[in-house]
Structure 1
Amino acid sequence: MVRMIAPEGVASFSHAGHTFEVAEDGTLEVAEHAVDEAKAHGFTVAGDGEIVASEAITVKRESVLKVLEAMGVAANPAMRADKLAAAFEGAAARVKAPKTAETKAPAGDGKGADGKGGDGKGADAGQAGAK
């Protein structure tokens, strides 16, 4: 079986008396011998990591342009959608992942707020079971 991506709005594909239903994610699996026929009807073979219908999103052109501008990427409002998407993906690839914050114990002299060293047992040591 070959996993394929259905054209938008297509719910099934029939070949040689067999009906193949399109899944919610926009894909379907067809027998190897039906691939060429499915391609002729607009289906494409799904590759590794290829976006399927459930992963695709719709965004307003002006929103993409605003984000690209904020990221310092020159974009012409008259650019084709595929060019805008490529510019957006290129800009996103350049964004560095946020660093994970590390917490460190504050440097100190090992003494408490009162200037005396503690016994290491905590403020309520010996208080277990007390009410």
Structure 2
Amino acid sequence: MAMAAMQKRTNVRLPPEVNRVLYIRNLPYKITAEEMYDIFGKYGAIRQIRVGNTPETRGTAFVVYEDIFDAKNACDHLSGFNVCNRYLVVLYYQANKAFKRVDVDKKMEELEKVKNKFGLDDDK
């Protein structure tokens, strides 16, 4: 029986952004990994949960599922889920987008350094 169910699932075409790794925003700052497992573990086996613990990453987490279908199910059901009066934002992790923002910030920083070095102002 289980094999027949697995065979059926392999024919399902998932959108390209669907990923086993979910990125969660708008979490309560005091949420624990155990609480995260309680919420996200209902949707399938979890490989790893990383809760942000720096000032920049507080309120965010990564949840890595063993199975992409479990991740999709969790994303579909937990987006907008209320935890301690905060509504979760659940997204599929996209490495290229995550690092693009860092690149833009770095380029802007380098541009400012060059402007300062040559005494250039935006006003002129």
TM-score when normalising by structure 2: 0.31
Structure with higher Rg: it is 1
Q: Which one has the bigger helix percentage?
A: 2
Q: Which one has the bigger strand percentage?
A: 2
